[in-house]
Chains A and B, each alone.
Chain A
């Protein structure tokens, strides 16, 4: 996309700006949809209706929330560390927004064809930890300090199983770039990595169980990275009131919510690329059958967003059924179970790819 715009405008800054705006617009629209979607999903799961009065079935609910938050008075506590207090939400949002640079929405619409795509995404998404620590420390409130400590420990320790599973996938596919990874899993669902990858052969059937184990490990650890139940300890309402954003008001708090939902989608996007064939459609393209290849990038985009939203829905589904883990149980799950399994999985996949 950047190259395409660069040829038109001839000026890198404008091209860069436009390509950066596309994911930003997508995130804003997605967050407006996702907040409403979560309230409706949780409502219908709990035998009630959810927002109904604000638009047709409460569709404008998040717009109303957003405009109301614009009008809120911006309170910064007197003893709070003023500068850090305002930088923290920006840093947290920057961390999760930057990850969208390398996510390929379709073969044409792609931030920047970065060779080291997956490596970049994992590195940049740990920027969020710095923002959270800043928020916790600067709001000068015991609850947010406790919340920030916990979430920093949680995100840092759950990066390791994610990295290990990503390593095993990179070993299998041989490339770091997300775009190539998606292309390799051609347009039929049995070629996806979850079913053992594109090359037909004995190794493909051997791989299937370990692919499922890898998928489960990476799904659990990305759940923890995004602070969703059963790992949402940093903002555990019942204990720490509201975790690290206890002191935040109006738009600053909206930035935290924006980055949480943006993170949710970017994490689901990574999982679809790694295991479920990125923007490839499971049943072949309408564009090919109708003989209009120009249609394919849009179809790919639609498939990609559909898969992403499905995984976001599963995250919401988990949130409203499972209780919450305690901090030390969360650490034992990561260090005693996820990381050893991820290592074993890595070794076995390595051996199989050598066959």
Chain B
């Protein structure tokens, strides 16, 4: 965003307007990568089904990492799967966000002590934006996690990427 980094003398009216528009667009059409790992994936499916309807917030599942903006890591991340998740994260185009859903992907969940094959938290492999607690979190909790992510995007500024 070299063009916009130049400080206009009279300041920020132009930038905040454009910033709001860009942030509003990014937050109101978050396309999630359609893949689930474990029990949380069933709750994620229930959230995008008719009763809780993810589509109200503009979230539609996309199948290829190329066209997805956010991954919802829903389920236990095992060591064998962690390598794949890292590659998926790298394949996604840049303004991308990660929602870690469920205590398994937050910190290893019920498998933290004796799970020899479980990665203790997905943030050891990819940077996470929003953690949704619960095992599995209720659909309302996932929706609240999405709203938290939207809030975070709303405050992002074009000049310095806030992550």
Whether B95 lies near A72 (C-beta < 8 A) is yes
Interface size class of B (residues with CB under 8 A): 20 to 34
Given A51-B58, A53-B58, A68-B69, A250 contacting B93 (CB threshold 8 A): yes
Whether A71 lies near B95 (C-beta < 8 A) is yes
Whether B63 lies near A237 (C-beta < 8 A) is yes
Answer whether residue A248 sits at the interface, using C-beta atoms and an 8 A cutoff.
Answer: yes
- Report the minimal beta-carbon distance from B48 to chain A, rounded to whole angstroms: 9
A248 to B66, CA, bound (A): 7
- Report the minimal beta-carbon distance from B51 to chain A, rounded to whole angstroms: 8
Given A48-B53, A49-B56, A53-B57, A68 contacting B25 (CB threshold 8 A): yes
A72 to B29, CA, bound (A): 12
- Report the minimal beta-carbon distance from B90 to chain A, rounded to whole angstroms: 10
Given A46-B50, A67-B25, A249 contacting B58 (CB threshold 8 A): no
A52 to B57, CA, bound (A): 7
Q: Which among A47, A48, A250 has the highest number of chain B CB atoms within 10 Å? A: A48
A61 to B67, CA, bound (A): 17
Q: Which among B26, B91, B93 has the highest number of chain A CB atoms within 10 Å? A: B93
Whether A242 lies near B67 (C-beta < 8 A) is yes
A182 to B99, CA, bound (A): 55
- Report the minimal beta-carbon distance from B162 to chain A, rounded to whole angstroms: 15
Whether A73 lies near B58 (C-beta < 8 A) is no
A54 to B55, CA, bound (A): 11
- Report the minimal beta-carbon distance from B156 to chain A, rounded to whole angstroms: 11
- Report the minimal beta-carbon distance from A41 to chain B, rounded to whole angstroms: 12
Answer whether residue B21 sits at the interface, using C-beta atoms and an 8 A cutoff.
Answer: yes
Whether B55 lies near A39 (C-beta < 8 A) is yes
Answer whether residue B24 sits at the interface, using C-beta atoms and an 8 A cutoff.
Answer: yes
Residue from A47, A64, A66, A72 in contact with B58 in the complex, judged by beta carbons closer than 8 Å: A64
Whether B26 lies near A241 (C-beta < 8 A) is no
Given A64-B29, A72-B95, A49 contacting B53 (CB threshold 8 A): yes
Chain A 15-73 interface residues, beta-carbon cutoff 8 Å to B: 39, 43, 46-54, 58, 60-61, 63-68, 70-73
Answer whether residue A322 sits at the interface, using C-beta atoms and an 8 A cutoff.
Answer: no
Answer whether residue A246 sits at the interface, using C-beta atoms and an 8 A cutoff.
Answer: yes
- Report the minimal beta-carbon distance from A70 to chain B, rounded to whole angstroms: 8
Whether B55 lies near A71 (C-beta < 8 A) is no
Q: Per-residue CB proximity of A61-96 to B under 8 Å, as 1/0? A: 101111110111111000000000000000000000
Answer whether residue A253 sits at the interface, using C-beta atoms and an 8 A cutoff.
Answer: yes
Q: Which residues of chain B have C-beta atoms less than 8 A from A241's C-beta?
A: 63-64
7 contacts between A and B (CB under 8 A): A50-B56, A68-B26, A71-B26, A73-B95, A75-B91, A246-B66, A248-B66
